């Protein structure tokens, strides 16, 4: 089967580049053409510069012809979620309040990609400040799901997921605070990995909720995701929460773990009361697949699961209310034209009222409330205690099993606009993903089937800093199925 | 009714360090506005704080010098409020787990005169914590501009117990803190550069009452004298209010140094809810004995201890120690000379406090840069001690030495100041003086002791100041008896 170049995996493209069958400029032109052809329908990008990308590609080709290629990502176009700082490029977080901001510095993960020669490709749409599950909360406008343009791509890294699924980028960086990589990956039929908290530096990632945020890779295959994870992982002295230990060679480690008889747990709380049975079916088949490989499948309990959503929305909004205070209309953000200069706080009120969208305001207000004097103990402190219990649930589960298998999302991608008026039902679409952020553990979502023509994701949750195990387990499934070669018709 | 005041101080002290507290960005004073900034200082999206260990060393040193306990762990919290001088609109500080707990500061009140040591007492501290300083707002007719150079400078807040009772107590407290910080090298505490700032909590109550009165927070105390005057004014104001039958409402007032009065700023109802919560970007800090001991070993002898030792070991008068001790370099200078000739310690002290200080001031040189080393100073002390030159001549010799860096002997030699006559010549001058001045002679003989000075002066003049005054005195008396 011949495949369009734009749908080839990054590892295939990397081989073609190193064999000289393809130049980075040729590849980048293909990606640009593809983007120009489909992005008016998909809407994955907030902005891109073809000229800038081609200049990077040309530099890559020159390195390669001089025998100085920088590794497997050299010359590969990688889309960047518009939440990461790239020197000289806009950084909008899909918010009006940052409409004119150009970052004067690089995020650490961006610096690492530059060192490895990647072609940084465009700014990908997202829910404003990563707050949302549908990429509808964007000042730039909603992104569409390439599998069904009437549906959302998921969020908040919906632009990243859609771009990868539609062949507008070989790989993309996303960020995941409560499922923002895994849920859109699942909705768009691609692979997305949220690393362990601390595995990837947060320096240069515009913060939503600092204790939950992680940057992570998104791609069309497990191997591609491993390649990108390798490039961005590792200790960074600019991030005090960054993990000190070195990371392994993921491709090598993945090989070494091949054919292992894993002990896999099914958290019973995740399988009770699932409304959409058709969405569960592919996940159940995936579980049967692992059983057929000789893996031990075991029911486990995460008893505090029912508190996860409430805990998450207290911790995340509290941190967000403080993190977003810097967007104030004083220095680099949108400033309202009209404000009462006799009133010292009016410049803040007017600029923030104009600059932030509804969901961001809702969360800032909620977060401000839960930290207020007199409410702190009842909300924030209690949520921190519950968070400890949730973390302990996972420690207990991992005493019994190596990893957990769950659905990524309770349903396939939903129709645009269907949940916009009901924030709570939107929040509940993260129900399987947010515990991993609260516990700090890694998780991966990979395509495992369809429901009504829309992709369904299998989530695998692993032990802290054992991303290689997640990748190895995911790859067993991927190798035995054809999902990575299935793409939307656009 | 008699009232007494109760005062607690919150003192902010900038920690001296090359770089700022949460980033490697340079720290300093007097630079072009907004040149000491980087993405962290400007609060750009994605920037993260990383703790500067030097700042921690500084505050631990300050805490140990002020007898605080350093707990095994401290943590960082965000204090949330909107103000243009704070780029993130939150300050990173320490809410419930500060790095230093408790502690006390020894202070000295003014004595009856400058020559008399004042009363010493100890003021208890509540805590010292570390936080970042904020930028500076400059207001103009049309608009306001912000300079973020100061933002992110390491700042410690020393909080005292309500343990003081007058502006004089507060003055002595700040003086002691300042000297201790300078001694430890933690801060220069220059209030004009904003390196030390103080706010006071002031209340008054009838003497004998245990319960504290309603407190007023007094701000804008921009100098140590300002602190004293502002507090004393505010105490009087509060007592007057109470005497008039009015009550005090909890509020923030400010000291207007030009007008010499305090004025109302805002009521307590307007106070912020700072919504403190642990900063998720920073890990708690663990402090072990190795760390504490390393810093403890770097703490020098503290000013009051040194003063007591100088008075005891070198028998220095209080007046000399009170000039020497506040300046660590000057007292070190003194001691390196005095150790070599302890019997002349007083003379050395006098040279340091008077002649050396005067020359440094007039030449605008620093102690480190001047040519007058302690060893050089000893040469002039010895020359006077051995009677080679008189104290009077020594004054000029000192100035020469200070300028040229020569030893006393070299100056004496070069300028020909050594006596070029023997005792017979001095006796001859004495006889001449007696012959030429019958009036003082007569006066002396009829019992006027002082009259001998006139004769002595004549002899000194004849010797061009080189004769030894004590020897001349003895000879005159012998001749007149």
Which pLDDT band, with edges at 50, 70 and 90, does B45 fall under?
very high
Most confident of A419-433, B166-180, B465-479: B166-180
B55-71: average pLDDT: 98
**Is B458 in a helix, a strand, or coil?**
helix
Greatest Cα pair distance, chain B, in angstroms, is 96
Distance of CA A321 to the CA centre of its chain: 21
Q: Which residues of A touch B88 (CB under 8 A)?
A: 325-326
Is the CB of residue B78 less than 8 Å away from at least one CB of chain A? yes
Is the CB of residue B266 less than 8 Å away from at least one CB of chain A? no
For B371-384, write each residue's pLDDT tens digit. 999 999 999 999 99
**Is B376 in a helix, a strand, or coil?**
helix
Q: Does the distance separating the beta carbons of B88 and A241 come in below 8 Å?
A: no
Looking at residue B367, its pLDDT comes to: 93
- Partners of B218 in the β-ladder: B200, B253
**Is B337 in a helix, a strand, or coil?**
helix
Among A193, A227, A232, A198, residue whose Cα is nearest residue A212: A198
Among B211, B213, B283, B201, residue whose Cα is nearest residue B242: B213
Q: Tokens 């008396």 sit at which residue?
A: B477
Q: Does the distance separating the beta carbons of B277 and A107 come in below 8 Å?
A: no
Asked whether A221 and A191 are in contact (CB, 8 A), the reply is yes
Inter-chain CB pairs, A–B, below 8 Å: 95
Q: Does the distance separating the beta carbons of B44 and A332 come in below 8 Å?
A: yes
d(CA B220, CA B227): 9
Asked whether B90 and B78 are in contact (CB, 8 A), the reply is yes
Among A259, A257, A271, A261, residue whose Cα is nearest residue A296: A261
Q: Which residues of B touch A330 (CB under 8 A)?
A: 84, 146
Question: Computed over its alpha carbons, how large is the radius of gyration of chain A?
Answer: 21
DSSP, res B136: E
Give the catalytic positions of A in this structure. 81, 156, 180
Q: Does the distance separating the beta carbons of A326 and B45 come in below 8 Å?
A: yes
Q: Does the distance separating the beta carbons of B280 and A241 come in below 8 Å?
A: yes
- CA distances from residue B76 to B32, B91, B94, B129, B159 in whole angstroms, order as listed: 31, 10, 5, 10, 17
For B272-326, write each residue's pLDDT tens digit. 899 999 999 999 999 999 999 999 999 999 999 999 999 999 999 999 999 999 9
DSSP, res B11: E
Asked whether A159 and A81 are in contact (CB, 8 A), the reply is yes
- Partners of A218 in the β-ladder: A172, A192
Looking at residue A1, its pLDDT comes to: 45
- Partners of B132 in the β-ladder: B154
Q: Does the distance separating the beta carbons of A206 and B45 come in below 8 Å?
A: yes
Question: From the list A205, A211, A331, which residue is nearest B42 (CB)?
Answer: A331
Q: Does the distance separating the beta carbons of A380 and B48 come in below 8 Å?
A: no
- The CATH number of the structural domain formed by B423-480 is 1.10.10.410
Taken in order A242, A243, A246, A249, is the CA torsion positive or negative?
negative
Greater confidence, A182 or B432? Answer: A182
Question: From the list B45, B146, B282, which residue is nearest A85 (CB)?
Answer: B45
Q: Low-confidence residues of chain A, pLDDT below 70?
A: 1-2
Looking at residue A2, its pLDDT comes to: 58
Determine which of A87, A317, A328, A438 to mutate to test the interface with B (most B C-beta atoms within 10 Å). Answer: A328
For A269-298, write each residue's pLDDT tens digit. 999 877 778 889 999 999 999 999 999 999
Q: Which residues of B touch A327 (CB under 8 A)?
A: 45
Is the CB of residue B49 less than 8 Å away from at least one CB of chain A? yes
Distance of CA A400 to the CA centre of its chain: 28
Backbone angles phi, psi at A203, to 5 degrees: -65, 120
d(CA B206, CA B213): 9
DSSP sequence for B177-221: HHHHHHHHTS----GGGTSEEEEEEEEEEETT--S----EEEEEE
- H-helix or E-strand spanning residue B120: strand B120-132
Asked whether B63 and B128 are in contact (CB, 8 A), the reply is yes
Question: From the list A91, A205, A328, which residue is nearest B82 (CB)?
Answer: A328
Is the CB of residue B311 less than 8 Å away from at least one CB of chain A? no
Instruction: Give strand ranges (E) for A198-320.
Output: 214-219, 263-267, 296-300
DSSP sequence for B349-373: HHIIIIIIHHHHHHHT--TTTSS--
Domain borders along chain A are: 1-490
Is the CB of residue B50 less than 8 Å away from at least one CB of chain A? yes
List all residues 6 or more positions away from B194 whose beta carbon is below 8 Å from its beta carbon.
B14, B29, B150
- The CATH number of the structural domain formed by A1-490 is 3.90.1300.10
- H-helix or E-strand spanning residue B253: strand B251-256
Which pLDDT band, with edges at 50, 70 and 90, does B393 fall under?
confident
d(CA A450, CA A483): 10
Interface of A with B (CB under 8 A): 84-85, 91, 93, 98, 101, 103-105, 107, 202-207, 209-211, 237-241, 318-319, 321-322, 325-328, 330-332, 345, 348, 368, 371-373, 376, 380
Domain borders along chain B are: 3-294, 303-415, 423-480
């Amino acid at each position: 089967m011949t495949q369009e170049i734009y749908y080839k995996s990054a590892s295939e493209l990397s081989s073609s580049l190193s064999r000289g069958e393809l130049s980075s400029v040729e590849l980048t032109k293909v990606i640009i053409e593809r983007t120009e052809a489909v992005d008016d329908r998909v809407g994955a990008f907030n902005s891109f510069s073809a000229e800038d990308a081609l200049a990077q590609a040309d530099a890559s080709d020159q390195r390669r012809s001089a025998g100085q290629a920088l590794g497997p990502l050299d010359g590969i176009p990688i889309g960047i979620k518009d939440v990461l700082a790239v020197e000289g490029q806009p950084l909008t977080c899909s918010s009006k309040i940052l409409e004119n901001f150009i970052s004067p510095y690089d995020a650490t993960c961006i610096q690492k990609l530059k060192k490895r020669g990647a072609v940084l490709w465009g700014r990908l749409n997202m829910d404003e400040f990563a707050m949302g599950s549908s990429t509808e909360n964007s000042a730039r406008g909603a992104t569409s799901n390439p599998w069904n343009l009437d549906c959302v791509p998921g969020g908040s890294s919906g632009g990243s997921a859609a771009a990868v699924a539609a062949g507008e980028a070989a790989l993309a960086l996303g960020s995941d605070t409560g499922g923002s990589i895994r849920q859109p990956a699942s909705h768009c039929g691609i692979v997305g990995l949220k690393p362990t908290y601390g595995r990837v530096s947060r320096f240069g990632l515009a913060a939503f909720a600092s204790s939950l945020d992680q940057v992570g890779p998104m791609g069309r295959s497990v191997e591609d995701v491993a390649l990108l994870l390798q490039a961005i992982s590792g200790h960074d002295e600019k991030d005090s929460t960054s993990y000190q230990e070195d990371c392994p060679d993921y491709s090598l480690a993945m090989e070494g773990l091949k054919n292992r008889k894993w002990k896999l747990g099914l958290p019973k709380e995740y399988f009770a009361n699932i409304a959409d049975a058709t969405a569960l079916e592919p996940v159940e088949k995936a579980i049967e697949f692992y059983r057929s490989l000789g893996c031990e499948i075991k029911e486990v309990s995460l008893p505090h699961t029912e508190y996860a959503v409430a805990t998450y929305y207290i911790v995340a909004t509290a941190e967000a209310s403080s993190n977003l205070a810097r967007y104030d209309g004083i220095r680099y953000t949108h400033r309202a034209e009209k404000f009462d200069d006799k009133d010292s706080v009016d410049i803040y009120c007017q600029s923030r009222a104009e600059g932030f969208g509804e969901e961001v305001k809702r969360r800032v207000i909620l977060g401000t409330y839960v930290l207020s004097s007199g409410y702190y103990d009842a909300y924030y402190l209690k949520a921190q205690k519950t968070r400890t219990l949730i973390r302990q649930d996972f420690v207990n589960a991992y005493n019994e099993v190596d990893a957990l298998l769950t659905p990524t999302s309770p349903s396939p991608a939903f129709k645009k606009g269907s949940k916009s008026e009901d924030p709570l039902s939107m929040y509940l679409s993260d129900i399987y993903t947010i515990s991993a952020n609260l516990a700090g553990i890694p998780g991966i979502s990979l395509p495992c089937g369809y429901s009504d023509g829309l992709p369904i994701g299998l989530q695998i949750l692993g032990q802290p800093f054992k991303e290689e195990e997640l990748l190895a387990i995911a790859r067993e499934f991927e190798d035995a199925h054809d999902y990575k070669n299935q793409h939307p018709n656009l | 009714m008699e009232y007494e005041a109760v005062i607690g101080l919150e003192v902010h002290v900038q920690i001296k360090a090359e770089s700022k507290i949460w980033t490697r960005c340079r720290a300093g004073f007097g630079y072009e506005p907004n040149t000491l900034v980087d993405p962290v200082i400007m609060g750009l999206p994605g920037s993260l704080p990383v703790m500067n260990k030097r700042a921690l060393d500084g505050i631990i040193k300050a805490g140990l010098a002020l007898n605080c306990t350093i707990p095994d762990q401290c943590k960082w919290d965000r204090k949330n409020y909107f103000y243009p001088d704070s780029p993130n609109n939150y300050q990173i500080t320490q809410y419930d787990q500060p790095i230093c707990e408790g502690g006390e500061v020894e202070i000295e009140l003014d004595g009856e005169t400058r020559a008399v040591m004042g009363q010493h007492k100890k003021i208890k501290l509540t805590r010292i914590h570390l936080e970042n300083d904020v930028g500076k707002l400059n207001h103009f007719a049309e608009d306001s501009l912000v300079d973020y150079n100061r933002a992110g400078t390491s700042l410690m807040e020393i909080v005292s117990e309500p343990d003081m009772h007058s502006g004089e107590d507060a003055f002595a407290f700040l003086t002691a803190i300042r000297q201790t910080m300078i001694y430890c090298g933690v801060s220069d505490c220059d209030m004009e550069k904003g390196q030390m700032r103080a706010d006071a909590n002031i209340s008054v109550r009838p003497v004998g009452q245990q319960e504290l009165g309603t407190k007023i927070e007094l701000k804008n105390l921009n100098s140590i004298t300002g602190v004293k005057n502002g507090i004393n004014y505010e105490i009087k104001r509060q007592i007057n209010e109470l005497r008039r039958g009015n009550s005090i409402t909890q509020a923030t007032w400010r000291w207007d140094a030009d007008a010499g009065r305090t004025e109302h700023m805002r009521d307590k109802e307007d106070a912020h809810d700072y919504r403190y919560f642990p900063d998720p970007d920073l890990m708690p800090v663990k402090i072990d004995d190795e760390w504490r001991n390393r810093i403890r070993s770097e703490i020098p002898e503290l000013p009051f201890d040194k003063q007591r030792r100088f008075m005891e070991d070198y028998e220095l008068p209080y007046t000399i120690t009170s000039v020497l001790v506040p300046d660590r370099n000057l007292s070190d200078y003194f001691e390196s000379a005095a150790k070599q000739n302890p019997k002349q310690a007083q003379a050395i002290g006098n040279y340091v406090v008077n002649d050396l200080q005067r020359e440094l001031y007039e030449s605008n040189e620093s102690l480190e840069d001047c040519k007058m080393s302690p060893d050089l100073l000893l040469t002039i002390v010895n020359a006077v001690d051995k009677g080679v030159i008189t104290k009077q001549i020594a004054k000029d010799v000192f100035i020469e030495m200070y300028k040229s860096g020569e030893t006393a002997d070299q100056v004496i030699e070069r300028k020909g100041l050594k006596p070029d006559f023997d005792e017979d010549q001095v006796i001859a001058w004495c006889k001449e003086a007696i012959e030429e001045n019958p009036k003082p002679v007569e006066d002396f003989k009829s019992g006027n002791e002082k009259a001998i000075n006139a004769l002595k002066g004549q002899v000194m003049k004849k010797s061009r100041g080189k004769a030894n005054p004590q020897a001349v005195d003895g000879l005159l008396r012998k001749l007149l008896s």
